[in-house]
Amino acid sequence: MRRILHLDMDAFFAAIEQMRHPELVGKPIIIGGDGDPTKRGVVSTASYEARKFGIHSAMPLRRAYRLCPEAVFLPVDYDEYLKVSEKIKGILRSFTSLVEDIGIDEAFLDITDLNISSEEIAMEIKKKIKDELNLTCSIGIAPNKLLAKIASDIKKPDGLSIISEKDIERLIWPLPVRKLWGVGPKTEVQLKNMGISIIGELASISLGRLIEYFGKSYSNYLYEASRGIDESPVITHWEPKSMSRETTFQRDTDDWNTIAKNLAELTREVVDNMKGSGYKGKTVTIKIRFSNFETHTRAKTLDDFTNSIDILRKAAFEALGRIELKKKVRLIGVRIGRLARG
């Protein structure tokens, strides 16, 4: 039987701000955009004190301001959060090299071969993160990644949940289907139409019935996931498929110079990122979202892999030229794909 640990930091961006500004501890604080709640932008995260007002990630900042005008609004300081994230991953790697980095504030560890009890490992990790960084996290430990990820979310903040296969019916089945990794809002609606809202209900229907509604491989996934089955290994190194950046304008714009300047800047940022991690790319895709949310993408594939800013910028502008800018633009994005090391 494997032992997989999933760790997720509590109110990550907000907790880091509270750690470096102790006067903010215990207060409703909201991190998002450039910290000005009168401007366009969304909430990246909110402290647990702010969540009591109904504020959550991805909510427009202006709405958050209406719900809690007394909250402290702060800009996203991504560089700082990334530094803290790297320290956390370093702490995790001091326990085992079998660490899968899945996000800025979360990771899986395969602790099967460590000769310490699950509870002791979790407590030691929590203590080290608290002592060295003054932050708290929530940990789930289970026989696989799927269950460990659900477990870490059962008790938050500062939680620890250790679950085994015999707990699936009692702890997993009553949860909404959305708690399963890979079940997004669309699947949630489709399942609801089939009369299914919790994982236990999903586990009660046959694979044949699922296949009537979903593709074969996704049906297989849902069938197994609802039963707590997941054989996927902890992967210590992922090759990225693409790198991208996008930006939403403060005001929708049809000014060519503004659009061009932003496209050039975003392309430079993606290229810097590629160079920093040693990749070259072959396709450049650009995305334009108009003020009515109509979204268009166009891609340009190059003959060779490259990290040349001149070539990639030219390809981005070629792709842009194939979109008719007939309305004001709300968002522009660049993605470079078909990455290869070199």
**Which residues participate in catalysis according to the annotation?**
106
Tokens of 294: 């109509």
Choose which of 6, 8, 146, 249 interacts with Mg ion (CB under 5 A): 8
Cβ closer to ligand TTP: 104 or 205? 104
CB of 75 to ligand TTP, least distance (A): 12
Choose which of 17, 101, 105, 230 interacts with Mg ion (CB under 5 A): 105
Instruction: Kindly provide the b/e burial profile for residues 190-199, where b requires at least 16 CB atoms within 10 angstroms of the residue's own CB.
Output: ebeeeebebb
Residue 179 near residue 33 (C-beta atoms within 8 A): no
Binding positions for ligand TTP, rule: CB under 6 A: 8-13, 44-45, 57-58, 104-105, 156-157
* 3-class state of residue 297 by DSSP: strand
Q: In angstroms, rounded to a whole number, what is the distance separating the alpha carbons of residues 324 and 260?
A: 14
The piece of 103-111, 166-174, 197-205, 218-226 that touches Mg ion (CB under 5 A) is 103-111
CB of 3 to ligand TTP, least distance (A): 22
Cβ closer to ligand TTP: 44 or 226? 44
Q: In angstroms, rounded to a whole number, what is the distance separating the alpha carbons of residues 232 and 216?
A: 18
CB of 258 to ligand TTP, least distance (A): 25
Cβ closer to ligand TTP: 14 or 163? 14
Instruction: Residue 264: name its binding partner from ligand TTP, Mg ion, none (Cβ under 5 to 8 Å by kind).
Output: none
Sign of CA dihedral 297, 299, 305, 306: negative
Instruction: Residue 221: name its binding partner from ligand TTP, Mg ion, none (Cβ under 5 to 8 Å by kind).
Output: none
CB of 15 to Mg ion, least distance (A): 9
Residue 15 near residue 85 (C-beta atoms within 8 A): no
Instruction: Residue 157: name its binding partner from ligand TTP, Mg ion, none (Cβ under 5 to 8 Å by kind).
Output: ligand TTP
Q: In angstroms, rounded to a whole number, what is the distance separating the alpha carbons of residues 42 and 156?
A: 23
Tokens of 335: 């993605």
What are 110's strand-pairing partners? Answer: 4
Q: What are phi and psi of 176, to 5 degrees?
A: -65, 150
Cβ closer to Mg ion: 8 or 230? 8
Number of residues interacting with Mg ion: please give it, by CB under 5 A. Answer: 4
Residues forming contacts to Mg ion in the complex (CB under 5 A) are: 8-9, 12, 105
